[in-house]
Amino acid sequence: MAIKLDKRISRIIKPIAPFDFDKTVYNPSFFPTPDHFFKSGKYWQTMRLDKKILGFRLENLGTIKAPKVRVCLFAKSSLKPKEAETALAKISWQFGFDEDLNEFYKEFKKDKILSPLFKEYLGMRSNSGEIGLYYSLQVYIVLQNATVRRTVQMMNNLLEKYGKKVRFDNKELYAFWTPEILNKATEKDLRDLKLGYRAKFLKRIASDFVKGKFDEESIKTLEKEKIKEKVMEIYGIGPASADYILFEVFRRFDAFDYISPWEQKILSMLIYKKKLVPVQKILKDAQKHWGKWKMLAIRYIFTDIFWKRKTQKIDWLEKEIRL
């Protein structure tokens, strides 16, 4: 039975302009998980506030140049003012409501690669897909060494076994498990969900979070390299995942120091129109052209091709993502 979240509060937030609602809340390159739902102008997602399950709906009430977003929070019991404030702060952080990208647009308005993208994606923020370090880690772990189709299967198995089904605003979605829930599972329990070696990673991460080894709010205040050192202490996280964590969870726009083989192939085609360009050349060129904005620039390039994929058949891309 789904848990009903029928206590509701609503707030209006005005993100820093420019802000593109649809392009921010929905990223076509992310694999689909049943904890969120999108349609143009509206977005629904679940989240955890400590052990409390919340749902929220974002609704676009403005324009790119004059943005306005209604945030509706849903809970089983009434939210205290401090809880609502904390939830809104986490949502604002995930979707970059308070980030000012005007310097980025101004600096690269004549860039031969980025300038054409700004016409379509002006105001697009990065979006981690999940709220909070622990929940993002669950996604990064199941993404490792797997096709998108395989990743979706693993995540669905986990959510059905350890997540909670909730109902709010006429939507039925899943909420992620807490570290405490997964810490009680055995490694065999997780392997039975066809997670393979990832079961060991998820067990160890759950244990470390239960012990308080990784305090997300404290990590946010560190310099980039210190954040990376801390992130690399997380069991099962390598350099590829670390870059994404720095960028998506901790919003460091220069976190582009590693390229996986599949990303190398895609970036070679998109930036150089070649089948394979050496990783070091891609990294060096990105630093030279985009500097402190290099990972954000890469996100714009990636996002563009995945939006095009929704209306076009791109054979070479399908071979790499294998959804």
User: The pTM is what?
Assistant: 0.93
The count of residues in the chain is: 323
Helix, coil or strand: residue 157 = helix
Closest by CA position to 202, among listed 220, 219, 186: 186
pLDDT score of 322: 57
Which structure tokens are listed for 38?
A: 């999108």
What pLDDT digit, counting tens, does each position of 44-90 carry?
999 999 889 999 999 999 999 999 999 999 999 999 999 999 999 99
Which structure tokens are listed for 224?
A: 């980039």
Helix, coil or strand: residue 111 = coil
Closest by CA position to 138, among listed 35, 49, 239, 56: 35
Contact residues for 54 (Cβ-Cβ < 8 A; gap 6+): 5, 46, 47, 48, 73, 74, 75, 79, 87
Beta bridge partners of 119: none
Cα-based angle 21, 112, 17 (whole degrees, multiple of 5): 25
Burial of 161 per CB tally in 10 Å (0-12, 13-18, 19+): middle
DSSP string, 25-38: H--TTSPP-TTEEE
Contact residues for 120 (Cβ-Cβ < 8 A; gap 6+): 304, 307
Paired sense of beta strands 42-49 and 52-60, if any: antiparallel
Helix, coil or strand: residue 165 = strand
Question: Are the beta carbons of 173 and 34 closer than 8 angstroms?
Answer: yes
pLDDT score of 80: 95
Type of residue found at 30: F
Type of residue found at 248: E
Round to whole Å and give the CA distance between 320 and 305.
13
Which structural domains are found in the chain, ordered by start? 3-121 (3.30.310.20), 133-249 (1.10.340.30), 261-321 (no CATH)
Closest by CA position to 18, among listed 160, 118, 164: 118
Question: Are the beta carbons of 18 and 67 closer than 8 angstroms?
Answer: yes
Largest Cα–Cα separation, the chain: 56
Helix, coil or strand: residue 147 = coil
Which structure tokens are listed for 318?
A: 């399908």
Task: Report, as ranges of residue numbers, the positions in the chain whose pLDDT lies below 70.
Answer: 321-323
